[in-house]
Each structure stands twice: as C-alpha cells, then as structure tokens.
C-alpha cells in the first residue's frame, strides 16, 4: 500500500489520504479498511499521522468509523440527473436504502416576505427530520397552502406516517410535481440543526431552497432544507456556447434528484457513519 506514496507532494498524512482514497475506490460499500496500527506499520509512520489521514477521509464522507469495530468504506452517494426531479424518498429508495421521517411540526404558518405566496394566504408549516436507514441526514421545512392541504386531505395524522412522502402524496391526489426551482448555499449549522443531525460544533450544512410546481404552474411546496454537508455535494455539467454577436455565454443544466445512475448532478450520501 505504501508504494509511491512518498513520491507525492504535500504533507505525509495527505499523501497517505490520497493513496487510501484510491484504495477504497476499488472496495465495496461496507468493506473494512486496515486498522490504524496496521496502516502505520505499512507506511512506516506514526499512528498519529495515519489517524490524521483517516480523519481526512472521514470528513470527506468516504470512511465511517464504528466504535469497537473499526473503519469502513462508506456507502456510495446518490446522484441527481440533470433535469430529472425526484423526491427525497424516491432518490433514497432508488439507491436501495430506506427513507423515513420524523414529524417535528404541522401547524399554521405566518406569511413572510420571502415566501412565494400572497400575503393573505392561509399557510401550513410542515417540519420533518429526514432519515436514511434510520440515520438523520436532513431537515425539510415546507410551507404549503392550507387550501391545498384541504383539497388533498393532508393532515397531521397523514404527515406523521414514517413512510410519508409529500411528492408521492400530492401525486396520489392528482397534484403531480412537474418542475422546481432550486438555490443552494453553504453555511454554518444552527444549534438546533446540529443537535437534530448529530453534527459537531463547527459543522457546515448545505441549505437548499426549492419551490415545486404542478404542470399548470400551481405552487405545491416551498421548502427550506438543511443537509449534512458530508452527505451532499453539487455537480453541474457546463456547456460553452459558440460566440454570438460578440457575446460569450456559458450555461449549465438544472440538476434534480436521481437515484445513483452515474450522471453528474447533486449527490446525497454516504449514509453510514
């Protein structure tokens, strides 16, 4: 494992991390990596140096530690194919995992200037902790029209079901989601979100604001979602357009959820750790 590592540039622990990154790429999900003492012997370095290298990959979401068991290759992330919109539940299920949620709130919501609803609209706040295989990875705060909830029969009892999916529920009641606009920013995790997602004090989250629409343009959902940044990344395919009248334009594909098909796009995962 150590061959060629010291020929690379940079601190030794990053050289080891680079080689480990290459090695685990060839292993399957859940494969156990050698212990830190074994890696230290293989590399001829201190265990402290090896621990820094492993921690680097833990921070990147490539390795997960299990107390008393060792370190393992984390699950492959989900991908979101450009232009293809899936719900959180559909994306997780497509990758062979189980999506559930815990209902944190189902209550009347006050109108705010940043909400895409009329000022006099009656609104409902739907706050959910999203889990993958029982592990909390995201928080979704949705605001929907109270009239839409009435028409579809959406109640606290319905939303409390662990397998509830908002998009799927809408489709079952003739309100299929056809398109969405989305904005992503990275920021420090709020104290409440750190607690819910079991994050460290200096954790960073990806905040996603999405507005979802039916085919006729009806706004179905305005959601502010928080994702553990270790399990969410964004990749876009950029296309350079030919010059036209002296202008030079670059465009990118709008990316939505897809279930691990190998395309560029935002990715969710790994789920272990």
Per-residue pLDDT tens digits for 17-50 = 888 888 877 777 778 888 888 888 888 888 888 8
What pLDDT, in 10s, does the model give residues 218-230? 999 999 999 988 7
236: phi then psi, degrees, rounded to nearest 5: -130, 145
Mean pLDDT value across the chain:
81
Domain 5-73: give its CATH code. Answer: 1.10.10.10
Helix axis angle for 12-25 and 36-43, nearest 10°, is 110
pLDDT band at 76 (very low <50, low <70, confident <90, very high): low
What pLDDT, in 10s, does the model give residues 220-262? 999 999 998 877 766 666 777 777 665 444 444 443 333 333 3
Q: Say if CB 16 and CB 3 are below 8 A apart.
A: no
Considering only the top CATH level, what class is 87-230? Answer: alpha beta
Task: Give the per-residue pLDDT at 121.
Answer: 94
Task: Give the per-residue pLDDT at 273.
Answer: 45
Query: Where do the domains of the chain lie?
Result: 5-73, 87-230
Q: Say if CB 171 and CB 198 are below 8 A apart.
A: no
Q: Is the peptide bond before 178 cis (omega within 30 degrees of 0)?
A: no
Kindly provide the residue ranges of all beta strands, DSSP E only, lying in 135-203, ordered along the sequence. Answer: 135-145, 179-188
Task: Give the per-residue pLDDT at 254.
Answer: 40
For residue 104, count CB atoms less than 10 angstroms from its CB and return exposed for 0-12, middle for 13-18, buried for 19 or more: middle
Query: How far apart are alpha carbons 185 and 205 in whole angstroms?
Result: 9
What pLDDT, in 10s, does the model give residues 185-194? 889 999 999 9
């Amino acid at each position: 494992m150590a061959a060629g590592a010291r020929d690379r540039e940079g601190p030794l622990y990053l050289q080891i991390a680079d080689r480990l990154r290459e090695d685990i790429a060839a292993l399957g999900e859940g494969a156990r990596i050698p212990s830190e003492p074994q890696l230290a012997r293989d590399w001829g370095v201190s265990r402290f140096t090896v621990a820094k290298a492993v921690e680097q990959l833990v921070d990147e979401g490539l390795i997960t530690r299990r107390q008393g068991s060792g370190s393992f290759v984390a699950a492959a992330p989900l991908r979101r194919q450009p232009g293809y919109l899936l719900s959180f539940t559909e994306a997780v299920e497509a990758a062979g995992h189980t999506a559930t949620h815990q209902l944190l709130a189902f209550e009347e919501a006050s109108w705010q200037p940043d909400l895409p609803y009329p000022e006099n609209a009656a609104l409902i706040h739907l706050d959910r902790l999203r889990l993958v295989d029982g592990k909390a990875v995201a928080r979704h705060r949705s605001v929907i029209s109270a009239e839409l909830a009435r028409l579809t029969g959406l109640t606290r009892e319905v939303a409390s079901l662990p397998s509830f999916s908002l998009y799927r529920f809408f489709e079952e009641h003739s309100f299929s989601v056809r398109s969405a606009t989305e904005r992503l920013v990275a920021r420090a995790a709020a104290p409440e979100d750190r607690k819910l997602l079991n994050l460290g004090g200096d954790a960073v989250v990806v905040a996603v604001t999405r507005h979802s629409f039916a085919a006729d343009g009806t706004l179905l959902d305005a959601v502010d979602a928080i994702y553990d940044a270790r399990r969410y990344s964004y990749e876009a395919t950029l296309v350079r357009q030919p010059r036209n009248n002296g202008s030079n334009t670059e465009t990118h594909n709008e990316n939505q959820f897809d279930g691990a098909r190998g395309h560029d796009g935002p990715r969710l995962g790994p789920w272990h750790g």
